[in-house]
Amino acid sequence: MSPASDFDRIASHLALWHGYDPAVKADLYSTCVLTPCGAYLIDPIPLQSKTLDELVGSGRVSGIIVTNSNHRRASAQFAEKFSIPVFARCEIFSDKMPRQFRKVADGDEICDGLLLSGIEGAAAGEIVLHYAPSGGTLIVGDALINFEPYGFTFLPAKYCSNEREMRRSLRKLLRYKADRMLFAHGSPILSGASGRLQALLDSDA
């Protein structure tokens, strides 16, 4: 796919960029989280060099995070460009590990305040990230989506390895406070995300 030419900064420490991938016939979203440890690029798709420089600013890029086996995207290119590690569960790179691979698991903290939860039953290696500052943000791989015609809802059953297990596993996210929720597929929720998630999970009870 062609490199994206712009991004949206939705908070001082958060930005999104997205583009249409004709190979999968879908819009793909990527996230940049600026932390005291540096910038982390989550499920990155290609981005023009000038735009990437503006996105990161004077900071350094400290790592790539891949949220499931479907989201390798441009992670290898970014890792090589910046000589930085790729953080992911082992299932994501079962065939060939990146040169600098950092295995992660449920409950791990990648840096101060950036925590991950393993979600079982969705795509292989699925994780959700939570970053605490400014009211909290959840960053989701595939287990939750927010685009038409579905709206904000669960990953459709045909894409799940075990739909019931995924829905049960998502309940662990209720431990986190989150004003915002960002997705690999779909528009962000920028306020009241915890309440929206609670309502969705309650509707499934």
Closest CA to 42 of 18, 13, 75, 8: 75
Q: What is the pLDDT of residue 186?
A: 93
- Quick check: 184 and 127 in contact, CB under 8 A? no
Residue 96: CB partners within 8 Å, gap ≥ 6? none
Superfamily of domain 8-203: Ribonuclease Z/Hydroxyacylglutathione hydrolase-like (3.60.15.10)
Question: Over the range 135-168, which residues count as b (16 or more CB within 10 Å of their CB) and which as e?
Answer: ebbbbbbbbbbbeeeeebebbeeeebeebeebbe
Q: What is the pLDDT of residue 24?
A: 84
- Given pLDDT bands bounded at 50, 70 and 90, which one contains residue 176? very high
Q: What is the pLDDT of residue 154?
A: 97
Domain ranges of the chain: 8-203
Mean pLDDT of 57-63: 89
